[in-house]
Amino acid sequence: MIDYKFIDNGMSTVQGIKSTGIHAGLKKIKKDFAIIYSEVKAAAAGVFTQNAVKAAPVLITKENIEASNGFSRAIVVNSGNANACTGELGLENARKMARIAAAELHIESREVLVSSTGVIGVQLPMDIVSQGIKQACAAVLNSNSSSDAAEAIMTTDTFPKEAAVEVEIDGKIVRLGGMAKGSGMIHPNMATMLSFIATDAAINPNVLQEALSEVVDETYNMISVDGDTSTNDMVLILANGLAGNSPIIQKNGDYHVFKKALSALCFKLSELIVRDGEGATKFITVKVLNAPSIEDARKAARSVTTSALVKTAIFGEDANWGRVIMAVGNSGANFNPDIVDMYIESNAGKEQMMKNGMGLAFSEENARKILGQRDISLIVNMNMGSSEATAWTCDFSYDYVKINADYRS
């Protein structure tokens, strides 16, 4: 049993990590620049968008992690402008963001990771950006507010998303804190959003990368809001070692304790993203049980979470189980449709809708009560093996269309 626990105050609880967010002018009123800063050199790792169109900050951050041999000191983030599809000038502006932050924090530019989010195809106004980074760096050296940083990275989000966990490793208390943004353009293959994590654990950069990649596959990559994968997605983690545990240099017991805590943190942030899905009224958990392999289970679960027909049916509280099995059939997963069972479940109860590949005469009244709840589970039992996977999504409401129809205006 690995005893981690959630604690308050997000990233601000992590030793040697400071963060803050400020308003500089990329947005009319709301905060638009965030800085995350480690007082000592930290191991760094990242997972990035699988979209073929990668924004300048994604490319420069990957470049800087490699150039620094997996060690970094700071992350600078702007919202309101994605710096995507901006050509060579966009790349130079992303590098300039790192250079400005490095000069203000008295570190090397390759130790600064860069992230942006917002409208695609617009060049950064570098006069505002330069001043914003300077203001944010000055603020982070004198204050520590991860809640301000979490607010500054938001775009269409309706609330800031942050969490922290604490766990004992090698007799030392280790803390992990994180923040995320995401509300729309959320889809597996680097769940479409930004997330930044910091920990005071001592861990080798290569091992840290393995832990992050594994955790992303089971958390962020298992959520979907609208099926669109962004140009700017990234998850970054800094680990500065100030907890004082013996450095984790291999996949031993300490590694698994660390990974379990990291997974809990990332799941919580993933859940917050889905709950804040644009226009969402339902939080939908899709469970695929007894699949031939984990790959088959994940394919099937993801396919259900990305089905517009499933999501609109759930919004309408319509127990249209045919849409669910349709999505499983479209997934490419290996399964026998003639032995599948299916259920819906919520706090209002549980109803079986399909047995051995055929529909049952279920209670429409009970099904509507189940689907009338905020949190709903769709359960698909393939009856073919022992593997399982869980994915998460939200419904499609009228407000989703309104939000995205007016996004640029």
Q: Give me the residue spans of the domains in the chain.
A: 5-275, 283-405
Query: What is the CA angle 84-88-89, rounded to 5?
Result: 80
Q: How far apart are CA 296 and CA 301, in angstroms?
A: 9
Q: Tell me the average pLDDT of the chain.
A: 91
**Do strands 234-239 and 194-199 pair parallel, antiparallel, or not at all (unpaired)?**
parallel
Q: Of residues 54 and 328, which shows the higher confidence score?
A: 328
Superfamily (CATH) of domain 5-275: L-amino peptidase D-ALA esterase/amidase (3.60.70.12)
Phi and psi (nearest 5°) for 73?
A: -125, -25
What b/e readout covers 243-260, taking b as 16+ CB neighbours within 10 angstroms?
bebeebeeeeebbebbbb
- Which member of 192, 229, 231, 390 is catalytic? 192
Q: How confident is the model at residue 233 (pLDDT cuts 50, 70, 90)?
A: confident
Digit-coded pLDDT (tens) for 6-52: 999 999 999 999 999 999 999 989 999 999 999 999 999 999 987 78
134-153 tens-digit pLDDT: 999 999 998 899 999 999 99
- Cβ pair 52, 172 in contact under 8 A: no
- Under DSSP, is residue 166 helix (H, G, I), strand (E, B) or coil? strand
Query: What average pLDDT does the segment 180-197 reach?
Result: 64
Question: What pLDDT score was predicted for residue 409?
Answer: 47
CB 34, CB 152: distance < 8 Å: yes
Q: What is the Cα 24 distance to its own chain's centre?
A: 25
- Residue 192 has a pLDDT of 44
The three-state secondary structure class of 94 is helix
* Number of neighbours of residue 290 by Cβ within 10 angstroms: 18
Residue 156, pLDDT > 90, answer no
Cα–Cα distances in angstroms (integers) from residue 47 to residues 61, 66, 196, in the given order: 10, 13, 11
Do 283-405 and 5-275 fall under one CATH topology? no
Mean pLDDT of 87-106: 97
Whole-model pTM? Answer: 0.86
Given CATH 3.10.20.340, say whether it is the number of domain 283-405.
yes
pLDDT digits (tens, 9 = 90+) for 252-273: 999 999 999 999 999 999 889 8
pLDDT range class, residue 66, cuts 50, 70, 90: very high
Q: Please give the residue that has the higher pLDDT: either 160 or 183.
A: 160
Q: Does 158 participate in catalysis according to the annotation?
A: no
Supply 1's token pair: 């049993």
Q: What share of the chain is helix, strand, coil (3-state, %, to 5)?
A: 35, 30, 35
- pLDDT confidence of residue 254: 97
125-135 tens-digit pLDDT? 999 999 999 99
In contact, 39 and 74? CB cutoff 8 Å: no
